[in-house]
Amino acid sequence: MDETSAPRTRLKTIVVFAMLFIVFGAVVVFAFLSTFSRPLTTVILVRHAEKKLEPENPDPDLTPEGVARAQEIARVFGDAGINAIYATQYKRTQQTVKPLADRIHVPVTWLNSKQTDELVNQIQTLHRGQTIFVAGHSNSVPAIVSVLSNEKFPEIPDNEYDNLFIVTIYRFGKAKVTKLKYGRQSP
């Protein structure tokens, strides 16, 4: 009787270990897919280009320097695979992104400048896995970067127009911010 039970015990042990190996393998595959199948999201943010200083005009146009900066944005990001472009209700942000929108044939979505939470929500839900370009203001750009990255960024000084933020939101929700300068240096 001992001779017959030994092969059965050995067979049961092999089956149990094979089942455990299969379950472990399924857990590893599920963990891999749930972590790495999530898309990578890239958000490019700039403050609007240089605006005309008109104290009586709350919605001024861009200066010639600002128009040149907007053209530089179109040149630099024209082949970046941008899927969506956002600007506020003000002409200066719309004029900043217009050359880029015209070049890549992507419509500009307008948001109220106070709706930064709505923009962040749209980025995280509607544009997951995409590349988004945002033109904002000295206060809204750092606020958006701060929310997306969970880091604190100060307001941009009034005389600086050459800041560029690239927020890369990784598959597992963490974000990395790269701050650069572009175009002609601000004074």
Dist CA 73 CA 75 (whole Å): 5
Write down the domain spans for the chain.
1-37, 41-181
Instruction: Say if CB 131 and CB 108 are below 8 A apart.
Output: no
Model pLDDT for residues 64-110, shown as the tens digit of each residue: 999 999 999 999 999 999 999 999 999 999 999 999 999 999 999 99
* β-bridge partners, 41: 169
How buried is residue 140: exposed, middle or buried, by Cβ count under 10 Å (0-12/13-18/19+)? buried
* Best mean pLDDT range from 14-18, 131-135, 182-186: 131-135
pTM, rounded to two decimals:
0.80
Q: The tokens of 142 are what?
A: 């750092």
What CATH superfamily is the domain 41-181? Phosphoglycerate mutase-like (3.40.50.1240)
- The region, left, alpha or beta by phi > 0 then psi within -120 to 50, assigned to residue 174 is beta
Dist CA 77 CA 106 (whole Å): 12
Model pLDDT for residues 134-158, shown as the tens digit of each residue: 999 999 999 999 999 999 999 999 9
